[in-house]
A and B are shown apart, each in its own frame.
Chain A
Amino acid sequence: MTDLTPITALGAKTARKETYDALTLSENPELALASLALRRDQTPPSPFGLRLPDPGHCADKGSVAAFWTAPGQWMIEAPGRANEDFAARLEEEVPGGSISEQTDAWTAIEITAKNSAALEALMQKLVNLDPAQIAPGHAARTGLEHMSVYLIRRSETHLAVMGMRSFAAALWHALVTAAARIDQTA
């Protein structure tokens, strides 16, 4: 039988992680993702007990999280469950919704910082958004060096950047280059 070795989006056997003075960037290959779109006139459900967030926001409850992507559409996240059929679990929670498996279509880079100022300084370099639009509890989709990304501010000192898997290396390069420069000027 063919011997297949799973690799992460950045091409290694283990997730990449780099630390700078105030910022730590790590690849998160264990994140299960599924998108949820409601049909017309469907009542917004509460999958896994989660209240689906309002436009521009993210929310989490227990082991699952969600962020708003478009009117009537959300991405549901489950950390550490990439090896499960997460879309099928979600389908059980939301009968009648339109659900697509998204795990591994995206690469998530988790950025943790010593303080929120370091995160904001990094984003000032990279995206053209008002800081209030990526305040804690907010999520946004925007352009970052001509790549479309989701920014999910999980907490004051934690921001996830999610880009398409096909340009994971370019996204990683953009983020670490900016992070290293924050370091030098801090």
Chain B
Amino acid sequence: MLIPHPLLGLRDSQEFTYLGDAALMDRPDPAGGNAEAAFTDYVFLRDNPAGVHRELWFHEQGDRSWLVVTRDTVTHEILGAELARDVKLNEEGAQ
């Protein structure tokens, strides 16, 4: 399986380690009113879609950047990859 690294091009997935759902980037506010419920959801509950999934991959044997990889869990087709840093900065910029 090849992962299209946004800076380095196609790289072998063996260079990467997998963390999980990209929703982990959106940590709830611990000072928020519903923090307990939000953290229960954040820590324990995961969507497990059969189909397109956004997930976090770490380029461990590479440039050690975190990527958000969009993958089809049914076919293992990789639909795209972007730097997690850019995703987060874009989200913050949009707010």
Q: Interface on A for B, CB 8 Å cutoff?
A: 55-56, 68-71, 128-130, 133, 140-143, 148
Query: B76 near A: Cβ within 8 Å?
Result: no
Let me know if A140 and B8 touch, CB within 8 A.
yes
CA distance A133 to B61 in the complex (A): 15
Name B62's closest neighbour in chain A (CB-CB). Answer: A141
> Beyond A55-B7, A71-B83, A71-B85, is A143–B14 a contact (Cβ under 8 Å)?
yes
For B85, the closest partner residue in chain A by CB is: A71
B10 interface hit (Cβ, 8 Å)? yes
CB distance B62 to A71 under 8 Å?
no
Q: Mark B31-59, 1 if CB is under 8 A from A, else 0.
A: 00000000000000000000000000000
6 contacts between A and B (CB under 8 A): A55-B63, A56-B7, A68-B63, A128-B12, A142-B61, A142-B62
Q: Which of A70, A129, A130 contacts B63 (CB 8 A)?
A: A70
B14 touching A128 by the CB < 8 A rule? yes
Closest approach, in angstroms, between the C-beta of A110 and any C-beta of chain B?
22
- Residue B64 CB within 8 A of the other chain: yes
With contacts A55-B7, A56-B7, A71-B85 taken as known, whether A148 is within 8 angstroms of B12 at the C-beta atoms is no
Q: Pick the contact of A71 from B7, B9, B10 — CB < 8 Å?
A: B7
Q: A55-B8, A71-B85, A140-B62 are in contact. List 6 more A-B contacts (CB 8 A).
A: A56-B7, A69-B63, A70-B63, A71-B65, A142-B11, A142-B15
A69 CB to nearest chain B CB (Å): 7
Taking the closest CB of chain A, its distance from the CB of B68, in whole angstroms, is 15
- A146 closest partner in B (C-beta): B61
B16 to chain A, nearest CB (A): 11
